[in-house]
Amino acid sequence: MNDLGNEPRENELTGDNVPDDRVLDPSNLEAEHHALEKRFTELLAAGDDDGVRDLALELAPGDLSEVLRPMSFDDTARVLRLLPPDPLAEVLAEIDNRSLGALFTLLDIDEIADIIEEMPSDEAADVVGELDQDQAEEILAAMEEEERSEVAELLQYAPETAGGLMGKEIVSCTEEQTCTEAVAALRGLDEDDLEETHFVFAVDARGRLTGRMPLTRLILSDPDALIRDVMEADPLYVEVGLDQEEVANFFKIHDLISLPVVDHAMKLVGRITADDVLDVMEDEATEDISRLAGVSPGEFGEQSSFRVARSRLPWLLGALVGQLGAVVVLGHFEKSLEAKVALAFYIPMIMAMAGNIGIQTSSVVVRGLATGEVDYYHLGRHLLRELGTAFVTGVSVAVAIWGVSLLVSGDGDLSFVLGLTMLMVVLFAAMAGTGIPLALHRIGVDPAVATGPFITTANDVVSMLIYLGLATLLLSLGAAPAP
């Protein structure tokens, strides 16, 4: 383990000195987390609660949450139960819902309320929002008035909007106040809140956002200067109802670390920080990857095989129904297959190629839509590029399969059918993989739902129609006589 930078500090429960946050080797995090997991397991098995607590307090909240993630429900709860309220609140802000539920089964309402009060308002709202309604109401009733009102306000907003993402830890001053008064307002913040404060925001008499001051500018300005004379006017902002994915894109475009949030009357109501946006990007990526694979985002971190299978079955059953279309196509061309049995040997290869091309193309398009690299207004340019790519790929694959088939079977007619089929299939699969996500995005449907089982099934059916249709046409013209 890398113990660089460890300074002794006092354990909040025992009064003993223990090392400050242990700095793990960033190039070997997975191995270090696994080693720490084994160490926790050994300490728990030995019943060494003091050792578990001291080891947990050495780790940064993010590292501890990663170590606990693969551990059992009971072991996770035992470790968390030993932490003091303040570090426990930091860990809960990083931990997954399964571990959160593990802890809450062992605590009473007042203890949970005390822990949530230590959390930033946005993270506290996320935790309360994940609980059952009755339990959430009990916890809110047990919280202090100030924290309760902040969390209750945030819970009014949809979770996947700027309002659901923002925190209430903001410092604002009127334009008529001085820099000295702004600094005094900063000094009134808790230390934890101050860590994520990057700006002092300026508002008018009605509380409407008018400007901002970076802390460096505030410190370097004349203490007697008025806020309106040193602030940055017309700052960037987002409204409470903006979708979180759009918020993330806004952060990325403008390289932001913090952004004020206003209501529909332009009144300052909160702020969003870059760490919140990183979580959004991870959630959105997880959701898109899940849909690409035809699985539920909820199964990440799920340990129950039954629940995972239940989340996957609808997609798989839908794909099974879709594949019946390929069966119908094969049945329709039964006579062609009987007349030329060798046609059947290449069906798996053609279906696999169509599926691979479709998934490759649609994955690029879905990612491009998510990052803003692809949009509907430049549709022609993107379609032209994909068409050119598909043509080059299709010709290359068609020549390859024609040569291999001719070498293996010596049947020129069959090789011609295979080569022409492969070119047409690649072109169709690329256009479907490009066009369907773009069309869905245009009408406001998440384009990720167009991929995975759906697009693979569509490509299978159409590729069989192309392949067997061409073969049947040649047979009917006598170009491929029966053996």
Quick one: tokens of 48? 């060494």
Residue (of 474, 404, 401, 466) closest to 431 by Cα position: 466
Check residues 308 and 148 and name the one with the higher pLDDT: 148
User: 11-20, 67-76, 419-428: which has the minimum mean pLDDT?
Assistant: 11-20
Overall average pLDDT of the 462-468 stretch:
87
- Domain annotation covers residue 56: yes
In a domain, 193, yes or no: yes
Q: Of 47-61, 187-201, 316-330, which one has max mean pLDDT? A: 47-61
pTM: 0.62
pLDDT at 142 over 70: yes
Taking residues 452-468, report their average pLDDT.
Answer: 80
Mean pLDDT for 352-376 is 75
- Helix, strand or coil for residue 260? strand
Verify that 229 and 352 share a domain, yes or no. no
103 versus 18: the higher-pLDDT residue is: 103
Residue 339 has pLDDT above 50, yes or no: yes
SS3 annotation, 114-126: HHHHCCCHHHHHH
Look at the chain and report how many structural domains it folds into: 3
Mean pLDDT over each residue of the chain, to the nearest integer: 80
Please indicate, yes or no, if residue 260 is contained in any of the structural domains.
Answer: yes
Are 218 and 74 part of one and the same domain? no
Would you say residue 278 has pLDDT above 50?
yes
> What pLDDT digit, counting tens, does each position of 80-93 carry?
888 887 788 788 77
Burial grade of 220 (CB within 10 A; 0-12, 13-18, 19 or more)? exposed
405 vs 363, which has greater pLDDT?
405
pLDDT tens per residue, range 413-434: 888 888 999 999 999 888 888 8
Per-residue pLDDT of 306-320, as tens digits, reads 665 666 666 666 666
Shared domain check, 131 and 214: no
For the chain, first and last CA: distance in Å?
A: 71
Burial class (CB in 10 A: 0-12, 13-18, 19+), 109: middle
User: Considering the domain boundaries, does residue 482 fall inside one?
Assistant: no
If asked whether residues 56 and 132 sit together in one domain, one would say yes
Distance in angstroms (rounded) separating the CA atoms of residues 71 and 131: 22
Q: What is the mean pLDDT of residues 156-167?
A: 92
Pair 304, 211 in one domain: no
Q: Which of 164, 198, 227 is the last residue of a domain?
A: 164
Find all residues with CB under 8 Å of 416, minimum gap 6, and list them: 402, 474
Burial pattern 409-424, b for ≥16 Cβ within 10 A else e, equals eebebbbbbbbbbbbb
* pLDDT for the residue 284: 73
The answer to the question of residue 288 being in a domain is no
**Predicted pLDDT at 5:** 39
Residue 479's pLDDT band, with cuts at 50, 70 and 90, is: very low
Residues 263 and 330 in one domain: no
Element (H or E) spanning 9, and its range? strand 8-10
Residues 237, 248: Cα–Cα separation, whole Å: 12
Same domain, 155 and 184: no
Condensed to tens digits (0 to 9), the pLDDT of residues 376-393 reads 666 677 778 888 888 898
Check whether 11 has a pLDDT greater than 90.
Answer: no
Q: Are 170 and 201 a contacting pair, CB within 8 Å?
A: yes
Do residues 379 and 314 share a domain? yes
DSSP letter, residue 298: G
Helical (H) or strand (E) element with 352: helix 347-371
CA 176 to each of CA 181, 201, 425: distance values in angstroms, whole numbers, following the listed order: 10, 13, 69
Q: Residues 99, 26: one domain?
A: yes
β-partners of residue 271 are: 167, 260
Q: 250-259, 327-336, 355-364, 368-377: which has the minimum mean pLDDT?
A: 368-377
Which of 280, 309, 325 corresponds to the end of one domain?
A: 280
User: What CATH number corresponds to the domain at position 318?
Assistant: 1.10.357.20
Tell whether 286 is covered by a domain.
Answer: no
Residue 157 lies in a domain: yes
**Which residue range is the domain that position 364 belongs to?**
297-476
In terms of domains, do 77 and 44 share one? yes
Distance (Å, rounded) from C-alpha 75 to C-alpha 58?
Answer: 18
pLDDT at 54: 93
Judgement on whether residues 206 and 225 belong to the same structural domain of the protein: yes
Residues 202 and 100 in one domain: no
| Helix or strand holding residue 402 (H, E) | helix 379-409
| pLDDT for the residue numbered 459 | 81
pLDDT at residue number 298: 54
More confident: 331 or 430: 430
pLDDT in tens, 97-110: 655 666 677 777 88
- Report how far residue 356's alpha carbon sits from residue 463's, in angstroms, rounded to the nearest whole number: 12
Task: Kindly state whether residue 220 falls inside one of the protein's structural domains.
Answer: yes
The residues that bridge with 259 in the sheet, in sequence order, are 272
Task: Look up the CATH number of the domain holding residue 218.
Answer: 3.10.580.10
Q: Is the pLDDT of residue 20 over 70?
A: no
* pLDDT for residue 16: 45
Which pLDDT score is estimated for 318? 66
**Beta-carbon contacts of residue 280 (< 8 Å; ≥ 6 apart):** 165, 244, 245, 247, 248
Find, among 429, 455, 431, the residue nearest to 319 by Cα.
Answer: 455
How confident is the model at residue 152, as a pLDDT?
Answer: 92
Give the domain-ending residue among 164, 192, 211. 164
Q: State the Cα–Cα distance between residues 337 and 331, nearest whole angstrom.
A: 9
Mean pLDDT across 285-311: 60
Average pLDDT value for residue range 153-180: 92
Asked if 59 contacts 94 with a C-beta cutoff of 8 angstroms, the reply is no
DSSP character string of 416-453: HHHHHHHHHHHHHHHHHHHHHHHHHHHTT--GGGGSTH
User: DSSP letter string over 124-159?
Assistant: HHHHHHTS-HHHHHHHHHHS-HHHHHHHHHHTTS-T
Q: How far is CA 170 from CA 48, 185, 334, 387, 409, in A?
A: 42, 10, 71, 50, 74
